[in-house]
Amino acid sequence: MAKLYFRYGTVGSAKTLNLLAVAHNYQQQGKKVLLVKPALDTRFGFAHIRSRAGLEKPADVLLHPDSVLPFADFEACDCLLVDEAQFLSPAVIDQLREVTRRLKVPVICYGLRTDFRTHLFEGARRLLEIADAIEEIKTTCNFCNRKAIFNLKFLNGQPSLEGPTIDLGAEEKYLPACHACYWSQLGLDENSA
């Protein structure tokens, strides 16, 4: 049976670079892979999946919270690769699960686990509930050498807990942080959460 994978990491952990490498490997073997992303992610263009390292491929499918997946388009596919899966609705995640079950096509989702306030994104929560395999893509804290587990947001150059949960950005807005540095940068006690 095909599996649903959730590969998560903090900002800057090379999730999209990993996705593009997997896509390349499938294509090198003459296999068909479809690249999927949420339509709301317009950071690097409406229909592009781009890593911070500069590698880029066009997205084949753009998803909205109420999207109905085109199952017929996926039948001849060897794998679905989903970028920024944390932004998908639980209903769309459930449909991706159905792709693995009904079509026997593996689906590999990449995304953040938590927002800048350390709370699960809806799409990540659903993936953690139903994925066959959950894999962490690790990186180090921007401020020390410990493993990063949180996404620290900056507003006007200062660490912040303000603003909407979904606030698109890259290094200019978010940095990976370990538990201790996250709270220290915010000027809060670790027990304030």
Catalytic residues: 84
Specify burial of residue 114 (Cβ count, 10 A radius: 0-12, 13-18, 19+).
middle
Give the N- to C-terminal CA distance of the chain in Å, as an integer: 40
Q: What does the alpha-carbon distance between residue 15 and residue 136 come to, in Å, rounded to a whole number?
A: 10
CA distance 138 to 81: 19
> Measured between alpha carbons, how far is 53 from 175 in angstroms, rounded to an integer?
16
Q: Whole-angstrom Cα distance, residue 11 to residue 112?
A: 7
Q: Across-strand partners of 154?
A: 159
From 175, 114, 102, 103, select the one nearest 144 (Cα to Cα). Answer: 175
